[in-house]
């Protein structure tokens, strides 16, 4: 860093803030549709478009109701989606068996979207929780989420998504070593172009609350079942550990790494940006969305301004890709729609 002398009145920073035009001219950060990854919640059934109670103006769709939403996203230039499925209770078990069903909801959703919009980028969530009767991201044995068996299963799950046509698989589970197993499995089966976006620094966070309600995937309260995800997701107190976790995923073959949640972890986004040279994603999670919506509904915050400020913050912190439930709102606002 060179030494700078900034002295009044030779320097008057306010000159560059005089009006909108000059503020835009010197703005360091711009938001476009290319920055976003749009999470989509998909349910079984027909004719379903239901609002998620804890996520106002965000919906779960059955496949036949997805068309309008996809058309709208496409027209707004939002061409990257991240898929999550809500699995019927009867199909859940400890091993997540349904996740490998070639005709499962996720696999059908991938095919549906790729068939209708071949140039939409389809990313898929890879973790057991929507399929687990216990609401955990892995298989439980003797009261513990077991790592290696789960990681092997996730590799098979990723393969199944790739076979259905997914462009990128996104393991969100935080098992050790899973990226390598996924990469090797994809290579072995000829899926050399399937990307891996790894949730590398994913913290055990209460901000995921509304999402778990949306998918009905919260850990169950039951004897001998861990009540939270703290044995695999990271401790929010840790910063250096995020670099170590990310380094491992990069070494194991991740194409994109992710920090999650977003707003409370911007320091981590910047650390990862400074340390690595691959694309960095950040996830503005359900609780962050819910907080802004709730305060805006009460008239305590200006919805649009706070939304934009939060998105700008991610990009300024160093994120290249922003997964956010606000994606559509932001782009519509920009286009005055």
Min. distance of Cβ 94 from ligand PBG in angstroms? 16
CB contact burial 44-83 (16+ within 10 A = b; e otherwise):
eeeebeeebebbbebbbbbbebbeebbeebeebebbbbbb
Burial of 193 (0-12, 13-18, 19+ CB in 10 A): exposed
Q: Which of 35, 129, 245, 252 binds ligand PBG (CB under 6 A)?
A: 129
CA distance 85 to 105: 7
Query: x/- contact string, 209-248, with ligand PBG (CB under 6 A)?
Result: --xx----------------x-------------------
Bridge partners, 199 (sequence order): 258
Stretch that binds ligand PBG, among 21-29, 71-79, 207-215, 251-259 (CB under 6 A): 207-215
112 touches ligand PBG (CB under 6 A)? no
Stretch that binds ligand PBG, among 122-130, 152-160, 292-300, 327-335 (CB under 6 A): 122-130
137 touches ligand PBG (CB under 6 A)? yes
- Minimum CB distance to ligand PBG smaller for 233 or for 246: 233
Beta-strand pair 195-202/256-260: parallel
* Contact yes or no for 307/334 (Cβ under 8 A): no
Q: Which of 107, 132, 286, 324 binds ligand PBG (CB under 6 A)?
A: 286
49 is catalytic: no
281 closest CA partner among 139, 204, 147, 171? 171
86 is catalytic: no
127 touches ligand PBG (CB under 6 A)? yes
Q: Which of 80, 132, 158, 172 binds ligand PBG (CB under 6 A)?
A: 172
Stretch that binds ligand PBG, among 123-131, 247-255, 290-298, 314-322 (CB under 6 A): 123-131
3-state secondary structure 95-136: CCHHHHCCCCHHHHHHHHHHHHCCCCEEEEEECCCCCECCCC
285 touches ligand PBG (CB under 6 A)? yes
- Minimum CB distance to ligand PBG smaller for 185 or for 286: 286
Min. distance of Cβ 323 from ligand PBG in angstroms? 8
| Size of site (CB under 6 A) for ligand PBG | 12
Choosing from 111, 202, 315, 328, which is the catalytic residue?
Answer: 202
Beta-strand pair 195-202/55-62: unpaired
Min. distance of Cβ 27 from ligand PBG in angstroms? 28
- Minimum CB distance to ligand PBG smaller for 173 or for 249: 173
- Minimum CB distance to ligand PBG smaller for 117 or for 225: 225
- Minimum CB distance to ligand PBG smaller for 209 or for 279: 209
44 closest CA partner among 60, 58, 56? 60
Read off the tokens for 77: 């230039």
Read off the tokens for 38: 């749009």
* Contact yes or no for 196/123 (Cβ under 8 A): no
CA distance 132 to 144: 14
CA distances from 219 to 17, 89, 145, 174, 224 (A): 49, 14, 12, 16, 12
Choosing from 260, 293, 315, 328, which is the catalytic residue?
Answer: 260
Binding site for ligand PBG (CB under 6 A): 125, 127, 129, 137, 172-173, 208, 211-212, 229, 285-286
**Any idea which residues carry the catalytic annotation?**
202, 260
């Amino acid at each position: 860093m060179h030494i700078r002398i900034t002295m009044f009145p030779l320097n008057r920073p306010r000159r560059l803030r005089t009006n909108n035009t000059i503020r835009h001219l010197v703005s360091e950060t711009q938001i476009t549709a290319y920055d976003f990854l749009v999470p989509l919640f998909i349910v079984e059934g027909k004719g379903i478009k239901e609002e998620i109670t804890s996520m106002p103006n965000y919906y779960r769709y059955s496949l036949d109701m997805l068309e309008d939403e996809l058309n709208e996203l496409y027209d707004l230039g939002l061409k990257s989606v991240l898929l999550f499925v809500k699995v019927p209770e009867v199909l859940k078990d400890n091993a997540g068996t349904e996740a490998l069903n070639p005709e499962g909801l996720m696999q059908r959703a991938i095919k549906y979207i790729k068939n209708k919009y071949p140039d939409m980028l389809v990313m898929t969530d890879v973790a057991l929780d929507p399929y687990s009767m216990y609401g955990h991201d892995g298989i439980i044995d003797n009261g513990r989420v077991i790592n290696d068996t789960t990681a092997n299963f996730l590799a098979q799950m990723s393969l199944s998504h790739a076979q259905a046509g997914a462009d990128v698989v996104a393991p969100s589970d935080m098992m050790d070593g899973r990226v390598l197993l996924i990469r090797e499995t994809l290579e072995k089966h000829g899926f050399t172009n399937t990307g891996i976006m790894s949730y590398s620094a994913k913290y055990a966070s209460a901000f995921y609350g509304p999402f778990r309600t949306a998918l009905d995937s919260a850990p169950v309260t039951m004897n001998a079942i861990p009540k939270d995800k703290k044995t695999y997701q990271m401790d929010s107190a840790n910063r250096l550990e995020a670099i170590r976790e990310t380094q491992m995923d990069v070494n194991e073959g991740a194409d994109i790494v992710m920090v999650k949640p977003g707003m409370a972890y911007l320091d981590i986004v910047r650390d990862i940006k400074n340390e690595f040279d691959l694309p960095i994603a950040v996830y503005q999670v359900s609780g962050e969305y819910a907080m802004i919506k709730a305060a805006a509904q009460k008239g305590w915050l200006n919805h649009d301004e706070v939304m934009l400020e939060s998105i700008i913050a991610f990009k300024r912190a160093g994120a290249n890709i922003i997964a956010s439930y606000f994606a559509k709102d932001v782009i519509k606002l920009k286009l005055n729609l």
